[in-house]
Amino acid sequence: MKSDSTKDQVSRRGFLGVSSAALVATVGGLSAAGAGGRRQQVNARATNDRSVTDPGPTNTALDAQNPDSAWPPGTDSKSLVPNFKYPFSFANKRTYEGGWSREVTVRELPVSKSMAGVNMRLTAGGVRELHWHTADEWAIVLYGSARITAIDRDGKSFVADVKKNDLWYFPSGIPHSIQGLDPDGTEFMLVFDDGNFSESETVLLSDSMAHLPPEVLAKNLALPTSL
């Protein structure tokens, strides 16, 4: 025969066990309902509120990727939350003989005031010529391999070969170039710490030389002006 204290302990264990099981079941139910909960709510509303229906043509794939835009949650009933993504698939490509580039800046994604992104492809031998800009640049190689070069503030040069998943960083004002290597060049993602940055507004070496007086170039390159 068990004592009263033993009965109390058994009762407490039983109660805790039942409570834990109920809690797990409840959390599991919430998790299961989370994925389709909002859709069920919308469907329920649609039976009584014609404003929730969407009989016209839709892009089902995009709607599925952006459920909170297609049917905003109750916390965004006035749809005042800005968009937080803009796929590169929507960005126009600038094509060249040696590759292409496309960018997403604050113009395409107004919420991104402190960051801009550029997706670039260089074929084997394709070169992003020596250039520099006012924004810092981070990069990750997505495909293939490339050769990067840079000149630091002390005039020392740097050359390195990078491959998929490698990273690089160039501070603002540091001249650098990128070249796609054999067998199929490279593709990489660039991130800049300025939402207004545009790849088309970088300062290229050829542009700089074209706007400098010949005597200034000759003096810096130790060459005669006749060249």
Active site residues per annotation: 128, 131, 133, 137, 176, 199
Rounded distance, CA 71 to CA 38, Å?
8
Question: Could you identify the residue written with the tokens 């010529």?
Answer: 129
The answer to whether 143 and 187 have CB atoms below 8 angstroms apart is yes
Residue type, 105: T
Q: In angstroms, what CA-CA distances link 219 with 65, 99, 202, 213, 215?
A: 58, 34, 25, 10, 6
SS3 state of residue 161: strand
